[in-house]
Amino acid sequence: MSSAEFLVQGFIKAFELIFSLNPYIVSITGVSVRVSGTATLLATLTAIPLAFAISFIHFRGKQALITLVNTGMGLPPVFVGLFVFLMIVPVGPFGFLNIVYTKEAMILAQYILITPIITGISLAAIKAVPKLIIETVYTLGGTEKDAAVATLKEARFGIITAVLAGFGRALAEVGAILIVGGNIAHTGSVGGIGEGLSETRTLTTAITSETSKGEISTSIALGIILISLVLSVNIMANYFQRRD
Amino acid sequence: MKEMFRIENLSKSFGNKKVLQNINLKIFTGEIFAFMGPSGVGKTTMLRLLNLLEMPTTGKLIFNGNDTAILQKNNVMSRMSMLFQRPAIFNTSVFNNIAYSLVIRRVDKKTIEKKVIDALDLVGLAGCEKQKSLTLSGGEAQRMAFARAIVFKPDVLLLDEPTANLDPANVAKIEEIIRKIRSELGTTIIMASHNIHQVRRIADRVGILLNGELIEVNSKEQIFTHPFDARSYAFINGEFIY
């Protein structure tokens, strides 16, 4: 079999797996979206109030916090994975939580990775709102709360872009969740391929393990789904950036 | 006439820079008062102080007989409205822009609709309520900002160079709106302008600011025909070098 035929066969089988809604592939996709979605939701709930606090409230250590956020935007995922792992292993300070090799641990690692990203981009979007908008709110009789709401409305497209960027980063992340999640699938084969349904196996971690096993068509199928998801998120982010 | 503002020995500095020095002035209810002077003499800062966007470094600002230093800031600000030289426009429809001050005051929907339509009529933008505000021309945006500033019937309207950068047709429209607001709503209007001709057309009284000092306050007629201060005379006659 030539390399071209090998690739073509791989793609044909990959599309068969996708369109037949293979349970193994579906379960991996489900775990990916659930873990990344939950991490994004929690990170958003932290990041947006944090970005507003940094923008509107004067407090000691504000500049240090901004530096921390900026540093956090470039955190190496493997380092975050190792850090979380050391915290949650049975002998670690949070070992009592008993979450090592669970989705919760993966959500925690992704939360740490993407919270600074969503905060940083939201902060930039909030800072881009002209000061005159806030002053206009005051001149029309608005309170600090009204000014914050008006800023949120003006920065809405930038903030949505920040959330989508965080979600995209979480979906595409592999190092941290591989360490804390363990890339676990249940034993036994489903749909004729791979192992059982995914427990902590995501699109990215599954691609690494399936490729190392030589299951190229499964890897291609997972890659197509991953790229499609990330592409969709980026198309949405671009759409909101254009509207801004 | 009832006193709206009383300014006593007011000064304002930003760092080491003194922007306004020892200002003493009374502004009365229902009048159109203009701060006139060249660019950079503190006119905008004066309006920002009256609107409580800035606080004086020294001196007192009395509003309706009460010292603004001890009043709840928001209670005073909610009775005024200020229009900036370049209005800040919310990224939403014309209707939502104008309705904003009524929405935050929790006015009911029907009343808001009626007041917004009335305000649009007043500024000559009837029928534009659904338009995206960012698509308005400079003159239309300024008129929309006027409608937004007066829709809740403030006691005081502060105008910072309200027609700067506008074409003559829009200048005429804005001046007509200012006269209408005063005659129909009885609003006290305080404006800052370096446009001598405009001040002459619409103001009742004029205060001339030079280098942060209020050098002369008088009726429009007096200022433009027989100013007391030689510097006022020079500014009005275009002989003042700045």
Report angle CA A25, A31, A33 to the nearest 5 degrees. Answer: 100
Q: Does residue B241 lie within any of the structural domains?
A: no
Give the start-to-end residue ranges of the domains of chain A.
Answer: 24-243
Interface mutation target, options A132, A140, A144, A152, chain B, most CBs of B under 10 Å: A140
- A26-49 per-position pLDDT tens digit: 999 999 999 999 999 999 999 999
The per-residue pLDDT for A191 is 58
Structural domain that includes position B82: 3-236
Contacts for A115 with CB less than 8 Å, ≥ 6 apart: A43, A46, A47, A50, A72, A166
Contact A140 B84 (CB under 8 A): no
**B44 Cβ under 8 Å from any chain A Cβ:** no
- The three-class DSSP label of residue B156 is strand
The per-residue pLDDT for B241 is 58
A117-176 residues touching B, CB cutoff 8 A: 130, 132-133, 135-143, 146, 150, 153-154
How many angstroms from the chain centroid is the CA of residue A165? 8
Helix H or strand E encompassing A150: helix A144-154
Helix H or strand E encompassing B92: none
Q: What are the chain A neighbours of B77 within 8 Å (beta carbons)? A: 138-139, 141
Nearest to B198 by CA among B167, B234, B162: B162
Q: Does residue B81 lie within any of the structural domains?
A: yes
Question: What architecture does CATH give domain A24-243?
Answer: Orthogonal Bundle (1.10)
Residue with tokens 């006659």: B237
The per-residue pLDDT for B202 is 93
B60-79 residues touching A, CB cutoff 8 A: 74, 77-79
CATH value at residue B190: 3.40.50.300
Which one-letter DSSP state was computed for residue B135?
A: G
Helix H or strand E encompassing B68: none
ipTM for the assembly: 0.86
**B208 Cβ under 8 Å from any chain A Cβ:** no
Q: Report the relative pairing of strands B156-160 and B3-14 from DSSP bridges.
A: unpaired
Q: Does residue B226 lie within any of the structural domains?
A: yes
Q: What are the chain A neighbours of B86 within 8 Å (beta carbons)? A: 132
pLDDT > 60? residue A144: yes
Q: Does residue B242 lie within any of the structural domains?
A: no
**B92 Cβ under 8 Å from any chain A Cβ:** yes
Residue A81: count of CB within 10 angstroms of its CB: 25
Amino acid letter, residue B17? K
- Distance in angstroms (rounded) separating the CA atoms of residues B154 and B188: 9
- B152-190 per-position pLDDT tens digit: 999 999 999 988 878 888 889 889 989 988 888 889 999
Nearest to A121 by CA among A241, A243, A242: A241
Interface mutation target, options A137, A138, A139, chain B, most CBs of B under 10 Å: A139
Residue A234 or residue B27, greater confidence: B27
- The three-class DSSP label of residue B94 is helix
Into how many domains does chain B fold?
1
The segments of chain B whose pLDDT lies below 70 read: 240-242
Nearest to A38 by CA among A88, A104, A94, A85: A104
pLDDT > 80? residue A192: no
